[in-house]
Amino acid sequence: MPKVIPDETVRVKITKDKGDYYFGELVEIIKPAKERIDAPCPYFNHCGGCDYQHIKYQSQLSFKENIFFETIKRVGGLNEIPINPIIPSPEPFHYRLKAQLKTSRTGERVNLGYFKKDSHSFIPIEECIICHKKINALINVLLKLSEQNLLYHLDEIEIIYSKLTDKLLLSLSENKINKNRLENLYSIIKKRINEITGVLSLKKTKVDCVGKNFIEERVKDIDYRVTSESFFQVNYSLHELLVNQIMKLVSPRKKDNILDIYSGVGTFSLPIALKANYVYGIDESESSIRDALYNQKSNKIKNCEFLKAKAEDCLIALKNKKVTCNTVLINPPRSGCSEKVKKSIISFNPLNIIYLSCNPSTLGRDLSFFIRSGYEIKSIQPIDQFPQTYHIEALAKLEKSKQIKV
Ligand SMILES: C[S@@+](CC[C@H](N)C(=O)[O-])C[C@H]1O[C@@H](n2cnc3c(N)ncnc32)[C@H](O)[C@@H]1O
């Protein structure tokens, strides 16, 4: 049950009767667990953003380890799995470089907030303590502008912060704001918070922008441009560790060809290319591929190719072109890899498959497919990319099995 810890005695209100089980809401804690703490965020009891702020960070890690293990075992039907202890986030709070906020209106005033879990009921907030402090500074400015009727018809907003350049990018999902109003808004915000580098309005068919439409980051020795619509890992305190872990598992050699499926802005393809023979990065997002090509050029990396396509189609096309590879890196969205992608991966007969996942259920399902296809799991490393929430990231390494299956 949400916001309750195993072994606690609590009073709950039943909200749904499912026959052999119930859904409930916490009413009163009669006997708290030893892991319980007071959640530092004043919105925690209602806001749908975080799940575990009432649990000591060290204990969140132990719970996540157990949940991860149980999920992989149950969904994947896997038993003896070499799972390492979870790697904690160096920053359990203020680690997020990106905030996506909902809006609501009280008269002319625009409120910023999140939805309550599994609902569309709006919870206004004035700060979000898992987001970087600079993001909160911008939230504060936006709320003040709203009091003065300076924010008009916002639907949703997104704020991205760059640690490298100390710059903020604001995207507004809204259809009514014209370029003049956007320019006006940008200059008003700029007077209050100098770190703002661009304001965008994302309309159905086009994007208007005043200032820059991207931020820049550096991870290890690679510079990345990331435009507002492209994906980039959000926990800055784990950026370098993640790249190091991937490099260790891929361990690229000068003769290796590597497929990086779901490659984003080239986060992993580019450092891998520095050590490999050739890397193919595949992503369906136009802006991610545009950024990846830009990043490839700005980092002077030649032995890499970025392809804008659905992995489902692109892998078949590469296979038809007789492309070969010894290692495949996959980092799919929460839905995991489709059957078509998994079958195509197998058709390349790679020696290694490295899988970075943000969803233990689809990871379990996909690992089980690869095992049935002749691979064995060498290691699984959970990483706590999203402290205070239920999300668990994990990095798995599979190798082509030496045993012949009969
Ligand atoms: C979790 S992100 C990973 C990006 C990158 N590896 C990184 O760490 O920055 C998943 C990426 O998969 C892309 N994507 C989602 N479905 C896809 C598909 N069917 N084919 C190709 N790319 C897809 C998204 O555009 C997104 O960039």
pLDDT, position 399: 97
Domains parsed from the chain with CATH numbers: 1-34 (no CATH), 98-215 (2.40.50.1070), 235-400 (3.40.50.150)
- CA 251 to CA 261: how far, in whole Å? 17
Percentage, residues of the chain above pLDDT 90: 83
Residue-wise pLDDT for 152-175, tens only, equals 667 789 999 999 999 999 999 876
Flag whether 118 is marked binding: no
Taking phi first (over 0 means left), then psi (-120 to 50 degrees means alpha), and beta for anything else, what does residue 180 get?
A: alpha
pLDDT, position 208: 86
Residue-wise pLDDT for 386-396, tens only, equals 999 999 999 99
Strand order in the sheet with 98-106: 122-124, 109-115, 98-106, 156-162, 167-173, 196-202, 207-211
Pair 75, 365: CB distance under 8 Å: yes
How many C-beta neighbours within 10 Å does residue 335 have? 9
Q: Considering only CA atoms, which residue is closest to atom 4 of ligand 1?
A: 264
Instruction: Indicate whether residue 232 lines ligand 1 (CB < 6 A).
Output: yes
Of the listed ranges 113-127, 228-242, 369-383, the one predicted with least confidence? 113-127
Rounded distance from Cα 374 to ligand 1 centre (Å) = 25
pLDDT interval class at 119 (50, 70, 90): confident
| pLDDT surpasses 80 at 224 | yes
Is the four-CA dihedral 252, 257, 259, 264 of positive or negative sign? positive
Flag whether 320 is marked binding: no
Residue-wise pLDDT for 172-214, tens only, equals 987 677 888 889 989 999 999 999 999 998 877 778 899 999 9
- By most ligand atoms within 8 Å of CB, the mutation choice from 222, 231, 240 for ligand 1 is 231
How many C-beta neighbours within 10 Å does residue 403 have? 7
Rounded distance from Cα 140 to ligand 1 centre (Å) = 32
pLDDT, position 373: 96
Q: Considering only CA atoms, which residue is closest to atom 25 of ligand 1?
A: 285
Strand (E) positions, 108-212?
109-115, 122-124, 156-162, 167-173, 196-202, 207-211
pLDDT interval class at 17 (50, 70, 90): very high
pLDDT, position 153: 67
Tokens 């999300």, located at residue: 391
Among the atoms of ligand 1, which is closest to the Cα of residue 267? Answer: 9
pLDDT, position 174: 72
Rounded distance from Cα 331 to ligand 1 centre (Å) = 7
Flag whether 233 is marked binding: yes
Pair 342, 315: CB distance under 8 Å: no
CA 149 to centroid of chain Cα atoms: 33
Instruction: Indicate whether residue 264 lines ligand 1 (CB < 6 A).
Output: yes
Question: 60: which 2 tokens?
Answer: 């969140």
Question: 133: which 2 tokens?
Answer: 């402090």
Burial of 17 (0-12, 13-18, 19+ CB in 10 A): exposed
Of 180, 177, 211, the C-alpha closest to 193 is: 211
pLDDT, position 175: 64
| pLDDT surpasses 90 at 326 | yes
| pLDDT surpasses 70 at 149 | yes
Q: Considering only CA atoms, which residue is closest to atom 12 of ligand 1?
A: 262
| pLDDT surpasses 60 at 103 | yes
pLDDT, position 152: 67
Rounded distance from Cα 396 to ligand 1 centre (Å) = 17
131 is catalytic: no
State how beta strands 278-283 and 257-261 pair: parallel
Residue-wise pLDDT for 59-101, tens only, equals 999 999 999 999 999 999 988 889 999 999 999 999 999 999 9
Flag whether 283 is marked binding: yes
| pLDDT surpasses 80 at 136 | yes
- CA 243 to CA 221: how far, in whole Å? 11
- CA 170 to CA 135: how far, in whole Å? 10
| pLDDT surpasses 90 at 301 | yes
Of 50, 131, 325, 358, catalytic: 358
Among the atoms of ligand 1, which is closest to the Cα of residue 260? Answer: 6
pLDDT, position 404: 56
pLDDT, position 138: 97
| pLDDT surpasses 90 at 403 | no
pLDDT, position 387: 98
Cα–Cα–Cα angle for 88, 92, 98, rounded to 5 degrees: 110
* Mean pLDDT across 249-271: 98
pLDDT, position 274: 97
Residue-wise pLDDT for 49-60, tens only, equals 999 999 999 999
- CA 97 to CA 45: how far, in whole Å? 23
Percentage, residues of the chain above pLDDT 70: 98
State how beta strands 222-227 and 257-261 pair: unpaired
Among the atoms of ligand 1, which is closest to the Cα of residue 265? Answer: 9
- 117/64: higher pLDDT: 64
Task: Give this prediction's pTM.
Answer: 0.95
Tokens 């987001």, located at residue: 131
- In this structure, what are the phi and psi dihedrals at residue 58, rounded to the nearest 5 degrees? -60, -40
Rounded distance from Cα 292 to ligand 1 centre (Å) = 12
Q: Which residues contact 20 (CB under 8 A, 6 or more apart)?
A: none
Q: Considering only CA atoms, which residue is closest to atom 15 of ligand 1?
A: 333
Amino acid code (one letter) for 345: I
pLDDT, position 146: 87
Q: Considering only CA atoms, which residue is closest to atom 18 of ligand 1?
A: 310
State how beta strands 352-357 and 393-400 pair: antiparallel
| pLDDT surpasses 70 at 109 | yes
- By most ligand atoms within 8 Å of CB, the mutation choice from 246, 283, 342, 363 for ligand 1 is 283
Tell me the pLDDT of the chain averaged across its residues: 94
Instruction: Indicate whether residue 233 lines ligand 1 (CB < 6 A).
Output: yes
Pair 169, 189: CB distance under 8 Å: no
Rounded distance from Cα 76 to ligand 1 centre (Å) = 23
Of 395, 397, 405, the C-alpha closest to 372 is: 405
Instruction: Indicate whether residue 267 lines ligand 1 (CB < 6 A).
Output: yes
pLDDT, position 89: 98
